[in-house]
Chains A and B, each alone.
Chain A
Amino acid sequence: DAKTTQPNSMESNEEEPVHLPCNHSTISGTDYIHWYRQLPSQGPEYVIHGLTSNVNNRMASLAIAEDRKSSTLILHRATLRDAAVYYCILRDVTGGTSYGKLTFGQGTILTVHP
């Protein structure tokens, strides 16, 4: 599986934008970029995913570099509820025995200050 690199931790103030970076220099053409987050004492929660173009949904935006070797998850106005561990994961679409597996790294711990 192609690997991702994220900062161990980041901090933000409430109601400010947050940009969470992810490097994936060995990404292949068939890898989708997925983001999940894990709030304290809960299971991971899907946030957003994309392939080549920038994506927006009600939770966040995903900005993907033109060469696809990096991406940024953008929370437009952080709230206290956004404090979580954020995981950037590459997911291959070509199937096989690892078809559905998500490979989690250590993620980025986001702290949001009131």
Chain B
Amino acid sequence: NAGVTQTPKFRVLKTGQSMTLLCAQDMNHEYMYWYRQDPGMGLRLIHYSVGEGTTAKGEVPDGYNVSRLKKQNFLLGLESAAPSQTSVYFCATDDPGQGNRQPQHFGDGTRLSIL
């Protein structure tokens, strides 16, 4: 039982390149989230999904796109990477079945550097 798995774990990109970060969960959770964490700061929500085929914007969505074609996967895309997107990206999941009391489960992060 892997929980929440993020790939890749590390990546270095050049400005203007594109890439996709993958989050996979095996907990059958409805909700999935993408956060970013900059040095010395808390996490900020980029996009989230409340179910297969649905996505919504979080606090800092600009420059990112997401897709949730399958319940277990949530993809985060950078179409044209910028140095300001250098960060650690975390995926999380939870289930609304018992209301907001359910904890979120996080992956170990993807460390992305854009030169």
Contacts and interface: CB of A to CB of B under 8 A. Distances in A.
A6 to B, nearest CB: 10
Contact of A106 (B40, B58, B94, B107): B40
Contacts of B53: none
Interface stretch (A19-27, A40-48, A63-71, A72-80): A40-48
Give the bracket for the number of chain B residues in contact with chain A.
Answer: 20 to 34
Contacts of A100: 31, 33, 48, 50, 94, 96, 100, 104
B42 A107 contact: yes
Interface residues of A, number: 24
B108 A42 contact: yes
Contacts of A107: 42
26 contacts: A34-B103, A36-B103, A42-B108, A43-B4, A43-B90, A43-B92, A43-B107, A43-B108, A44-B92, A44-B106, A46-B104, A46-B105, A91-B101, A93-B99, A93-B101, A95-B100, A99-B31, A99-B50, A100-B48, A100-B50, A101-B48, A102-B43, A102-B92, A102-B104, A104-B43, A105-B42
